[in-house]
Amino acid sequence: MTFWTRRKALDAVLRVEESRRLKPTLSWPHLIALGIGAIIGTGIYTLTGIGAERAGPAVILAFAACGVLCVFAALTYAEMATMIPAAGSAYTYAYAVLGEGLAWIVGWSLILEYSVTCSAVAVGWSGYMVGLLKSAGIVLPAALLAGPHGGGIVNLPAVLIVLAVTALLIRGAKDSAVVNIVLVAIKILALAVFVFLTITVLKPENFQPFMPYGFASETVNGHTRGVMAAAAIVFFAFFGFDAVSTSAEEVKNPKRDLTIGIVGSMVVSTLIYMLVATCAVGAWAYSEFARSGEPLAFILRSLNHPWAAVAIAAAAVIALPSVILVMMFGQTRVFFVMSRDGLLPHGLSKLHPRRGTPVALTLMVGAFVAVVAGLFRLDEIAELSNAGTLLAFICVAVCVMVLRVTKPDLPRLFRCPAVWVVGPLAVVGCLYFMISLPPATLGRFLVWNVVGIVVYLLYGRRKSFLNTPSTAS
């Protein structure tokens, strides 16, 4: 067996030294909040307008289509997470099923989903915060609001919010999850206010024509239009539910709680997206709010609810740190397991004796995210996170199907229903979204993974604990 295809035995995945085992402190309410906290972020505040521009009122269908695909992916994640309740998510599953080489590529790609997304969200949070401060008469120096690319020195608000989230994560998974529950409650309350103020003024004419550009993606006057064109954009608002599976080792009752957390957060978020999109389209002409960078606030101002519009903007400021928190949590847990497997320096998986968290690793991830958020431009780089996430989704669906063939008698606490329908549809759907990405993004993704393979060949291959035969299958 070559170093590329060698696999970690399933029982070895769960057999780790006590000093490097994460403490089980989470239950299903924490997990649902983690999932919703990651999913409901900038997407609900901005992508509703962008999606409506591409699909018209049928942006509601675009959210539904994305939700169905992500529910398929969530079902496969639930089977794998309950069968292998260990930290690491897609990386861990690939290591046990597909081999070390693919596991490394998945783990390397998850850096794009988690760390790069954290940095992008931190920059977005900075923009919302600066706007709120200006409305209160507080103006910060321009040099501290952008990196060198924007003529400044550093985006200080973005750095500060990353450091604040890092400090919270160091305290422990349970404290972080409790704070996240509060932030999620505030976000949902703000969206409930939006729905309450708009659902009574829905106009049937705003839904006509419902699908002005058709279902399939096509080019209209030089612009991409159609339900699937909108879906290719709003799909990225659903990222994050997979971060729930990275917490598997810290869950008190994996059999019950992981399934509820993964599938529950996905279903709840999809319903919230569809309800908000329906109210937005019905309350105001999509052709007008689609041009706004803050469509929900625009609609409320247009309906003469200026204070509610401010509340929505404030909720966005509150919402984004929860996305950073969950994504950074996921990144630290993936790196933690890669370190525990020897593919990254083993010292990074050392746990704090009292807090039970990988402090050194969390600080490293926080520093990296803060530097990227403070100094670099992310409008193009952030697109890479889409490709990394889609690769992880494909990997997990393939793992489920492979194990159904190679280990059909393996106990499964949760079985993905209609797996030979759900699994292939998840793979095909993710491949469709992946090839829909701009060619330049796919090119950068290829380069990123070539760099990752070089790192693996120079370090991970030699340091891997699978070089000890007893841990390999």
- Profile the chain (473 residues) by mean pLDDT over runs of 10 residues: 68 60 68 74 69 83 84 86 78 89 90 80 77 77 80 86 86 67 80 90 87 77 77 72 67 73 79 87 83 76 85 76 80 86 84 75 89 72 73 92 91 85 92 78 88 91 75 50
Given CA atoms 245, 342, 328, 151 in this order, what sign does their dihedral have?
A: negative
Q: Which residues of 303-322 are buried (b: 16+ CB within 10 A; e: fewer)?
A: eebeebbebbbbbbbbbbbb
Closest listed residue to residue 457, CA positions, set 21, 100, 15, 88: 100
Strand-pairing partners, residue 223, are: 220
Taken as a whole, the chain contains a residue count of 473
Measured from the Cβ of residue 278, the count of other Cβ atoms closer than 10 Å reads: 19
Of 108, 180, 173, the closest CA to residue 329 belongs to 173
Q: Tokens standing for 387?
A: 């490709």
Q: pTM (2 decimals)?
A: 0.78
Predicted local distance difference test score (pLDDT) of residue 468: 64
Using alpha carbons only, give the angle 332, 336, 341 rounded to the nearest 5 degrees: 155
**Alpha helical stretches, state H, 26-155:** 28-39, 42-55, 59-83, 90-97, 100-111, 117-135
CB atoms within 10 A of CB 168: 19
Return the ∠ at Cα 298 (arms to 294 and 304), rounded to 5°. 155
pLDDT value at position 378?
A: 57
Tokens of 15: 């057999």
Residue 293, judged by CB atoms within 10 A of its CB (0-12, 13-18, 19+), counts as exposed
- Find, among 30, 23, 15, the residue nearest to 260 by Cα: 30
Reported as type and span, the H/E element at residue 196 is helix 173-198
Residue type, 152: G
Q: Give the bridge partners for 26, in sequence order.
A: 251
SS3 category, 415: coil
String of b and e for 51-90 (b: at least 16 CB within 10 Å)? bbbbbbbbbbbbbbbbbebbbbbbbbbbbbbbbbbbbbbb
pLDDT at 42: 60
CA nearest to 128, candidates 290, 277, 303, 321: 321
Q: What is the pLDDT of residue 455?
A: 92
Residue 433 and residue 71: Cα distance in Å, rounded? 15
CB atoms within 10 A of CB 345: 14
**Which amino acid is residue 174, in one-letter code?**
K
Q: Which spans in 235-303 are helix H? A: 254-283, 286-289, 295-302
DSSP 209: S
Q: For residue 402, what pLDDT is reported? A: 95
CB 396, CB 80: distance < 8 Å: yes
CA 378 to CA 117: how far, in whole Å?
Answer: 9
**Dist CA 247 CA 260 (whole Å):** 13
Instruction: Give dist(CA 2, CA 117) in Å, integer.
Output: 34
* CATH code for residues 10-458: 1.20.1740.10
Q: 366-404 burial, b for 16+ CB within 10 Å, e for fewer? A: bebbbebbbbbebeebbbbbbbbbbbbbbbbbbbbbebb
Task: From 132, 128, 156, 122, select the one nearest 142 (Cα to Cα).
Answer: 156
